[in-house]
Amino acid sequence: MKTDTPSSLNTKNRHRVRVGRSSAGLGLFASDSFKKGERIVEYTGKRLTNEQVKRVVENRYLLEINDRYTINGSSRENIARYANHACKPNAIAETVRGRAFLIAKKAIRPDEEIVWDYGKEYFNDFIKDGGCRCTTCVAKRKTAPGGAVKPV
């Protein structure tokens, strides 16, 4: 069985996105405009069964595609892994016949950061304790009264 998904869309679309500096470290940015519903890049990686995932060292780039399979997107070849989490995203991850794609949720302009909602489980495991760094949450903390002060 072939486990690595072909990345023809990534080859085709690679020049339409770039990795750059974002508020949360590195991020994925549009170099071109994308129409609502358009595929941006494929989320590529080795396909693991969900049983295998339980034995694999936990990493931040596991994307569950259905109740049987998960993509391990930790390879640097997977440019989609650079897309950060946001609570108000402009993209979504969608699976099509066992492959996963980042799809524009709305029209995206060049230089916009491409972000998607990683989901509740990821949020609770990796984001919540450190505080979400997406623009919506950062803005919320800045405007909240006493938001910068930690409770004793």
| For Zn ion, the closer CB: 53 or 87 | 87
| CB atoms closer than 10 angstroms to residue 81 | 21
Query: Which residues partner with 93 through β-bridges?
Result: 102
Q: How far apart are CA 19 and CA 126, in angstroms?
A: 21
> Which residues form the interface with Zn ion (CB under 5 A)?
87, 132, 134, 137
User: Closest approach of Cβ 24 to Zn ion, in Å?
Assistant: 10
Q: Which is nearer to Zn ion, 56 or 139 (CB)?
A: 139
Contact (CB, 8 A) for 61 and 81: yes
Q: Give min distance, CB of 110 to Zn ion, in A.
A: 24
Q: Least distance in Å: CB of 66 to Zn ion?
A: 26
Closer Cβ to Zn ion, 34 or 118, answer by number: 118
Distance CA 55, CA 72 (A): 13
